[in-house]
Amino acid sequence: MDHNLRIAIIGAGPAGLSAAMNLQKAGYSSIAVLEKSDHVGGKCCSPSYHGRRYEMGAIMGVPSYYAVHDAEEFGGVTHDGPELMRKYKNKEGKIIDPFNPKKNPLMIPHLLKTKNQVKKLGELLETKYKGYDVNGHRGVAQGRYEGYAASPAREKVSGVNENLKDLTLPFNEFCRINGIELAQDVWVGPYTSFGYGYFDEIPAAYVLKYLDFQTCMNFVNMNLWTWKEGTQSIWEAVDRKLDHPARLNSEISQIERHDGKVYITVNGSVEEFDKLIVTSPLDSFGTYADIREDEKEHFAKIDYERYDSMAVTIKPENYPEISYYIFENMTPERRGHLMVYYRRWHDTMDAPITTYVLRNHRGKNLIPYEAAKKTAINDLTVMHNPCEQIINESAWYYFPHIFAEDYAAGWYDEVEEMQGKYDTYYAGEVMSFGDMDEAAEYSYELVQRFFQD
């Protein structure tokens, strides 16, 4: 490869900055990361309040976040944040302990079944579904796997496994055919509450590539990473170590691709590049680029979650002792209700509490933003932790994905065949998953596949 190639990267979230980091490591010297906002990190968003940072997007990581660890090492930071703790409430605001048999003696048979089915799922993933945890979705619909293993060494692996086609099913159907329906009770906490949709609509591949067995058990056992300066600080540190840091406030109005070049109009000026890596939302690519028919056809099938977060203050006498999860609100019928509220700092009661709400489900009416906001505020009162003041709020473009029928029809394999076709490469959340590690890992692999000798 010509290391003098001029490469433009759209987006300075984990995917874009990881692409830039890995290109720099590979010896490329002419890289421009174009970010339309005034900060890096994307949904790793950690604003400050009273001298401390709180989270509006990503909260945590786990030891199996190998791509995030790469970013930590490159940026010279480590997971030095506060220890996370959690409890549970029902929708009436009563503290419960749903997984403790001593507190739920009548539920002991159910809890034992759940434990056995979780164990069975782990065994199935290692045997029947070998290859399920390879980053990205290339080959799954065809019953094969190809990529890098979920391990620190990133061994290159490939193989044929017809059973992987089951991953194109909605996760609840995947669990049903394998007789492990109760495993959903464990996976729902770190999945739906984090805004990634409901198990009756989302293909199992998304659920299990994000929450592979090792990662899910880390969440269950609270073996978690946080960062004192927030998740955003990881990507700020990466950006500082780039030879060409992200160019903030870069407004792209036009992209034209022809004659082996990419012409990007940035803040009114046309710049010429040899290659383009898009990590920003692909379903909006056509609003500023010369989108082609095959791109338009595929990108139109992308949907996304309407996931909102608010940072609120709560009076000391009402301040929650810990973070709380509300499982009863993690169902399609309760969309728009508070699923999690998060206490980050345990040595103070003047830091914001962050709330998380999911508003949509395929085929059901979308809960309007203001209605869900009102519901979340009311839910805090029901939880006995009433809101004093809203200090920040975000309605995220969250977890772009495709649905089961398009997944099974080969959407990912067709898009992967388009990589490089118009001197353009597609990365970012939809090509892997909407968490920072999967998105960063995909960028690592993209560089390995297309930009290494």
Q: Map out the domains of the chain with their CATH numbers.
A: 6-81+228-302+402-450 (3.50.50.60), 100-220 (1.10.405.20), 304-400 (3.30.70.1990)
Q: Give Cα 189 distance to the centre of its chain.
A: 15
Backbone angles phi and psi of 421, in degrees to 5: -60, -40
417/138 Cα distance (integer angstroms): 10
Residues 101, 335: Cα–Cα separation, whole Å = 29
DSSP string, 286-342: GGTB---HHHHHHHTT-EEEEEEEEEEE--GGG--SSEEE-GGGSSGGGTTSEEEEE
For position 372, what pLDDT does the model report? 98
| Separation of alpha carbons 326 and 347, rounded Å | 24
Q: How much is the pLDDT for 351?
A: 96
* 150 and 159 Cβ atoms separated by less than 8 Å: no
3-state secondary structure of 165: helix
> What is the C-alpha separation between 103 and 237, in angstroms, rounded?
45
Cα 337 to Cα 341, 346, 356, distances in angstroms: 11, 25, 9
CA separation for the pair 174, 187 (Å, rounded): 13
Residue 338 and residue 380 in contact, taking contact as beta carbons nearer than 8 Å: yes
Q: Does an H or E element contain 415, and which? A: helix 411-417
Cα–Cα distance, 61 to 243 (Å, whole number): 27
Question: Greatest CA separation found in the chain?
Answer: 71
- Residue 402's SS3 state is coil
Q: Which two tokens stand for residue 75?
A: 């940026």
Burial 12-31 (b: 16+ CB within 10 A, else e): bbbbbbbbbbbbbeeebeeb
Q: What is the mean pLDDT of each run of 10 residues along the chain (453 residues)?
A: 94 98 97 98 97 96 96 98 96 95 89 97 98 96 92 90 98 98 97 97 98 95 96 98 98 98 98 98 97 98 98 98 97 98 95 98 97 98 98 96 98 98 98 97 96 89
**pTM, 2 dp:** 0.96
Q: For residue 194, count CB atoms less than 10 angstroms from its CB and return exposed for 0-12, middle for 13-18, buried for 19 or more.
A: buried
Spatial CB neighbours of 244, under 8 Å, sequence gap ≥ 6: 20, 30, 31, 32, 33
Beta partners for residue 61, in sequence order:
225
pLDDT of residue 288: 97
The answer to whether the CB of 339 falls within 8 A of the CB of 329 is yes
- Which residue's entry shows tokens 């998105």? 439
Closest CA relative to residue 437, chosen from 4, 33, 43: 43
Specify the pLDDT at position 102. Answer: 87
